[in-house]
Amino acid sequence: AAIAVSALAALAGVTATGWLGGGGLSIATMRLFHPRGLRRGGVGLERCRASVRRGNIIRCVVTNPDDPAKEYPSQALHPELFDPKGIEGWLEPGLLEALRAFRESGDPLQIDLAALPGVRLEAPGIVSFACLTQETCGKILSEARRFTESEFVQHPPNNMNRDGVVLNDIGLRPAFSMLFQRWMKGIGARLFGEDSVRAETLEGTPLETENWGGCTLTDHHTFVVRYGPDRDRRLDMHIDECDVTFNVGLIDGNDFKGGDLEFCGNYGTAGYRKYHHTYRHEVGRCVVHAGKRRHAVADVEGGERASLVMWTTSLSFRQTQEYKDKCGDFDKLLRSLPSEGVTPDPECVSMRHDRDYSKWSHLI
């Protein structure tokens, strides 16, 4: 009977619960998916129901690969990742301690940026710090790989990357929402909030950040992106569709060749195509920047590069005059870029996003 159950489940693409050997009733669960899932009235489902009527199987449950948020967690490689109660175990102990006062009060002014573990001012407006443990990074990456190899419907994380997984869509939204609300949001406020909250310096050095709605961040889009010679090889110079970006390395920079993160100026400023900084990922280290800062991923020439990205957005800030002065009506049409007055740096020219690319392509 067990063989019959397996064969039928494979044909039907359903979860089959059935009889096993020894004459006793037991539970056998199989989730073998048809590439597009079963539709009501499909041949496979009817065969399964006929087997129920014959008494070979107790019941049939359609498994829908179009709804991974509901179906995938029960098959996860690391089910503990899907429990928001375990979030504190994800974070570096030093980060938990640095954010303890903020967690207790909800006041971002209680965050001393200099207390963030390993904090560095990479360049004006770009800050990094130790965030997630290496163990957590390994689990997130292996979970993303497992989902990619599954029969669930795959959605690209954005309109620029093909290879990656939207973690919100596979059942991890509650966990990452807690990470965002309880920890990352406070850091966003201190770095990119309004004047009364935003820090001006880091250990005496000017941060040169500005208000990007960090005090009123309300939502996040969290995903894993993967690069390599046999997949997405690079990412053209661009801005993110968010207000504050948190980017955590999942693979150490020593384990892949190329793939540096290159930063240029902020969108809407005269220096938006001037080179600022090259950053190399370290496992668990988070680099934070304004979503409208132009950046790119250089060609990955060997190995695999992977990172966890959290795009955070303030809907209320996007309605303000300050935002419109910077970006225009972003939902409709970006405002015209100011005159640069100087030749762009070659690292900062975008083939996909710069209308005058042909004028400057000879620089690349």
Question: What's the pLDDT at 241?
Answer: 92
Contacts of 63 (CB under 8 A, 6+ apart): 13, 14, 15, 31, 33, 37, 38, 71
Alpha-carbon Rg for the chain in angstroms: 24
Residues present in the chain in total: 364
Instruction: Reply yes or no on whether the pLDDT at 15 is more than 60.
Output: no
Question: What's the pLDDT at 50?
Answer: 62
Average pLDDT, the chain: 84
Among 50-64, 170-184, 243-257, name the one with the lowest average pLDDT.
50-64
| Cβ 122 vs Cβ 279: under 8 Å | yes
Three-state secondary-structure class, residue 333: strand
Structure pTM? 0.82
> 3-class secondary structure for 126-138?
EEEEECECHHHHH
Instruction: Reply yes or no on whether the pLDDT at 132 is more than 70.
Output: yes
Question: What's the pLDDT at 325?
Answer: 87
Distance CA 97, CA 280 (A): 26
Which residue type occupies 352? R
Q: Where are the alpha helices (DSSP H) in the chain?
A: 2-12, 43-54, 68-71, 93-98, 100-105, 134-148, 173-179, 185-192, 321-327, 357-360
Tens of pLDDT, residue by residue over 310-358, are 999 999 999 999 998 888 765 565 566 778 888 999 999 999 988 888 9
Beta bridge partners of 312: 220, 244
Instruction: Reply yes or no on whether the pLDDT at 31 is more than 50.
Output: no
